[in-house]
Chain A
């Protein structure tokens, strides 16, 4: 843990605090938020690295959003960065839920809350889509990658295979294909 890492941890914490207030829809839009801030604007990480954090984060037990935040934070600023990102992403939902516990019955069936939520939910898919558009190019570099992506999509949507297994299958396919090509090029 260097001094520079600790210095970087505070801005990461504050940014993730903001992300934490807006991670609706199963948390996948955290990917879109990280991409806008740290790939497009600050260039701390690449699209490829973001894809790695997402799929690795998804295949570790526990909370995917938290896992992806830790992976990003560690890469950006070591252990202090990882803790800062995780705390930032977790504090807002904990505080908001604590509030909700006390106004639970008021909010539960409130008409206006329900209407606003229809809007928020409708925004989730476009937000994920906007991130996916840019990730597409760095994830799918050739036809073989395209086939893997289609396979993963089908397995995710139409089977009960766990995400871990699907990610592992992708890793095995990638290893096998690339090793064969690598060895062929060597000889």
Chain B
């Protein structure tokens, strides 16, 4: 029964990973051992997941499910990968609300909040190394750098929303990368 297999497979992926790229080895393992995909197809999905909005886990589940068992396969696989969210995160939500006023909870959160800031900065560093890689000075991409600065300006100075900023960034990407491809900078 392909649906049950898909569901269990992505349930396992969901419970044993913590989002983002940490899912890739698990997905790779499951897809290859079931013969649902080849290694290069898995690599392709990761690339496509980067191009489309949404969490990597959902993107992979949808893609793998659809390739193996059509639209219902996609839904079953996506549901599987969401089970931890529907159970554990829901429990955590109840727990967090219930003990919000407790002293110990507040003391723990006092230590957890700065961890979150540290993690966000770490993600920014990792993302920067991927997103601004190019040829300028041997390691930077000038279109990406210019777009990054423009986005920073519209976000902080003009308080643009995230969707608006992303659309602007996509348009600038088309324009500036077109220019870059047309020839070297006139300076």
Q: Do A and B bind each other?
A: yes
Q: Which residues of chain A have C-beta atoms less than 8 A from B165's C-beta?
A: 123, 126-127
In the complex, the answer to whether A25 meets B55 with C-beta atoms within 8 Å is no
**At the interface, is chain A mostly helix, strand, loop or mixed?**
helix
Tell me, yes or no, whether A10 is within 8 Å of chain B by CB. Answer: no
CA–CA, A148 to B116, complex, Å?
10
- Please tell me which one of the listed residues B55, B123, B148, B174 contacts residue A93 in the complex, with CB atoms under 8 A apart: B55
In the complex, the answer to whether B115 meets A148 with C-beta atoms within 8 Å is yes
Q: Which residues of chain B have C-beta atoms less than 8 A from A171's C-beta?
A: 108-109, 111-112
- Please tell me which one of the listed residues A21, A58, A129 contacts residue B124 in the complex, with CB atoms under 8 A apart: A129
Q: Which residues of chain A have C-beta atoms less than 8 A from B88's C-beta?
A: 60-62, 67
Q: Which of B54, B90, B97 has the most CB of A within 10 A?
A: B54
Interface residues of B in 137-164 (CB under 8 A from A): 141, 143-145, 147-149, 151-152, 155-156, 161-163
Tell me, yes or no, whether B113 is within 8 Å of chain A by CB. Answer: yes
Tell me, rounded to whole Å, the shortest Cβ–Cβ distance linking B26 to chain A.
Answer: 11
In the complex, the answer to whether A175 meets B107 with C-beta atoms within 8 Å is yes
Tell me, yes or no, whether A1 is within 8 Å of chain B by CB. Answer: no
Known: A61-B84, A118-B143. A74 touches B93 (CB 8 A): yes
Q: Which residues of chain A have C-beta atoms less than 8 A from B110's C-beta?
A: 141, 145, 174, 177-178
User: What total of chain B residues lie within 8 Å of the partner, measured CB to CB?
Assistant: 97
Chain B, Cβ-Cβ closest to A28: B123
Q: Which of B93, B97, B151 has the most CB of A within 10 A?
A: B93
Tell me, yes or no, whether B30 is within 8 Å of chain A by CB. Answer: no
In the complex, the answer to whether A52 meets B113 with C-beta atoms within 8 Å is yes
CA–CA, A159 to B43, complex, Å?
25
Chain B, Cβ-Cβ closest to A93: B54
- Please tell me which one of the listed residues A58, A113, A151 contacts residue B19 in the complex, with CB atoms under 8 A apart: A58
Tier of interface size on chain A: 35 or more
In the complex, the answer to whether B172 meets A119 with C-beta atoms within 8 Å is yes
Interface residues of A in 51-94 (CB under 8 A from B): 51-52, 54-67, 70-71, 73-75, 79, 82, 86, 89-90, 92-94
In the complex, the answer to whether B74 meets A98 with C-beta atoms within 8 Å is yes
In the complex, the answer to whether B67 meets A32 with C-beta atoms within 8 Å is no
In the complex, the answer to whether B116 meets A90 with C-beta atoms within 8 Å is no
Tell me, yes or no, whether B121 is within 8 Å of chain A by CB. Answer: yes
Q: Which residues of chain B have C-beta atoms less than 8 A from A172's C-beta?
A: 108, 111
B interface footprint on A155-187 (CB within 8 Å = 1, 0 otherwise): 111000011101101111111011100100000
In the complex, the answer to whether B17 meets A61 with C-beta atoms within 8 Å is yes
Point out residues on A near B: beta carbons under 8 Å: 18, 20-29, 31-33, 36, 48, 51-52, 54-67, 70-71, 73-75, 79, 82, 86, 89-90, 92-94, 96-98, 100-101, 104, 107-108, 112-133, 135-136, 138-141, 145-146, 148-157, 162-164, 166-167, 169-175, 177-179, 182
